[in-house]
């Protein structure tokens, strides 16, 4: 039996209290929903800067009335230390997802991003330590690889950082490593590679490319591709990210503590290929759907040209076994987008 299947069996009889920061957002809401559906208690913390009440409502509705009783929500900001202290009371495991994402946002306003992504991170890490919480899993990013041309990306080798956001995520990893060595808190960083799936927001200046393109295509609007479309990414479906968070939250392998792991599939698709996959899937759902040519524009500042993860470290140390390729994930994601966007 695979590590994740074994964990789900344990969840039937073992109940822990998980703090999910950023639980009104895309990844946080999916983590909260999965945990509630599997007999776990969840404390959610969010300030709604990028998350939504309707995500929480959707989680509780989907989990059901009985599971919803195991959920507690705190409306607060991780940049406020007292809020972090309050959230950490009685918690067994922290899944820290709260952050101001987006490379372009950090370039436009590094101070505001820093407040959440470094001050807020250190607040949460310190509050968890002070509360005696042993396990602290946090969202890092593939942006920490910077200008490294090596493919696939291996955790031990990074390049020159290309954005304030990348600096912030690397700083998180440095703090987490120091806290593991100095205080004995079991920190594990997850370097997400272009996560997509249900509840990902298509709106706003910093919306992720997949929901933004889908929304534009459904609304018969122009679709823009930055650069020549040959930029490539390791697109990772949300279910793979849920699995890795939960394995990281429960592993008893000390070799994983104080480390950072790639969270991806180990594949690579160009933006042109991605656009083709999205159009192909939409044609399955919408009668008479016509492929719309994309409009190419300038490359975006701070973007890495190619990104592809080596996931051997996660497979070896915590038993990570991704269940969805980009094609499998896109089938599920498009079905959700068509219904909900």
Any domain includes 339: no
**Residue 221's pLDDT band (cuts 50, 70, 90):** very high
Q: Which of 165, 175, 192, 337 is catalytic?
A: 165
HEC readout, 123-169: HHHHHHHHCCCCEEEEEEEHHHHCCCCCCCECCCCCCCCCCHHHHHH
Any domain includes 275: no
b/e map 213-222, b = 16+ CB within 10 Å: bbbbbbeeee
What average pLDDT does range 110-138 have in this prediction? Answer: 98
Residue 320 designated active-site: no
Reply yes or no on whether the pLDDT at 142 is more than 90.
yes
Is 260 in contact with 189 (CB distance < 8 Å)? yes
d(CA 155, CA 157): 6
Tally of structural domains, the chain: 1
Confidence (pLDDT) at 206 = 77
CATH code of the domain covering residue 166: 3.40.50.720
Any domain includes 98: yes
Any domain includes 338: no
**Residue 301's pLDDT band (cuts 50, 70, 90):** confident
Any domain includes 170: yes
Higher pLDDT, 292 or 135: 135
Any domain includes 36: yes
Any domain includes 290: no
What average pLDDT does range 84-97 have in this prediction? Answer: 98
pLDDT tens for 247-270 read 999 999 999 999 999 999 999 999
Which range, of 75-79, 293-297, 300-304, averages the lowest pLDDT? 300-304
Reply yes or no on whether the pLDDT at 1 is more than 80.
no
pLDDT tens for 53-82 read 999 999 999 999 999 999 999 999 999 999
- pTM comes to 0.97
What average pLDDT does range 285-306 have in this prediction? Answer: 89
Q: Taking the CB of residue 139, how many other CB atoms lie within 10 A of it?
A: 26
- Report the percent of the chain where pLDDT is more than 90: 91
Give strand pairing partners of 13: none
Domain that holds residue 245: 3-193+238-266+309-323
d(CA 49, CA 47): 6
Any domain includes 8: yes
């Amino acid at each position: 039996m695979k590590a994740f299947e074994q964990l789900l069996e344990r969840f039937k009889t073992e109940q822990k209290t998980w703090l999910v920061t950023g639980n009104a957002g895309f990844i946080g809401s999916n983590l909260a929903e999965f945990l509630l559906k599997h007999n776990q208690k969840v404390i959610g913390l969010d300030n709604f800067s990028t998350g939504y009440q309707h995500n929480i409502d959707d989680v509780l509705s989907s989990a059901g009335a009985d599971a919803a009783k195991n959920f507690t929500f705190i409306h607060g900001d991780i940049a406020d230390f007292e809020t972090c202290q309050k959230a950490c009371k009685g918690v067994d495991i922290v899944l820290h997802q709260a952050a101001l994402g987006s490379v372009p946002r950090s370039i436009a306003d590094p101070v505001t991003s820093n407040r959440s992504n470094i001050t807020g991170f250190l607040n949460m890490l310190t509050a968890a330590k002070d509360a005696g919480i042993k396990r602290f899993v946090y969202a890092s990013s593939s942006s920490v690889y910077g200008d490294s041309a090596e493919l696939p990306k291996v955790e031990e080798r990074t390049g020159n950082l290309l954005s304030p956001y990348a600096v912030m995520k690397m700083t998180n990893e440095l703090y987490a490593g120091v806290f593991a060595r100095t205080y004995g808190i079991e920190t594990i960083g997850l370097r997400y590679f272009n996560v997509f799936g249900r509840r990902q927001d298509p709106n706003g200046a910093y919306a992720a490319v997949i929901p933004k393109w889908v929304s534009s295509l459904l609304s018969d609007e122009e679709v823009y591709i930055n650069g020549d479309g040959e930029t490539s990414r390791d697109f990772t479906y949300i279910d793979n990210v849920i699995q890795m968070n939960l394995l990281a939250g429960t592993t008893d392998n000390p070799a994983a503590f104080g480390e950072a792991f790639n969270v991806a599939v180990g594949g690579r698709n160009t933006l042109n290929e991605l656009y083709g996959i999205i159009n192909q899937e939409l044609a399955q759902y919408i009668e008479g759907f016509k492929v719309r040519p994309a409009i190419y524009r300038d490359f975006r500042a701070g973007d890495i040209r190619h990104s592809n993860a080596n996931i051997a470290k996660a497979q070896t140390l915590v038993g990570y076994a991704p269940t969805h390729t980009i094609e499998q994930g896109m089938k599920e994601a498009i079905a959700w987008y068509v219904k909900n966007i």
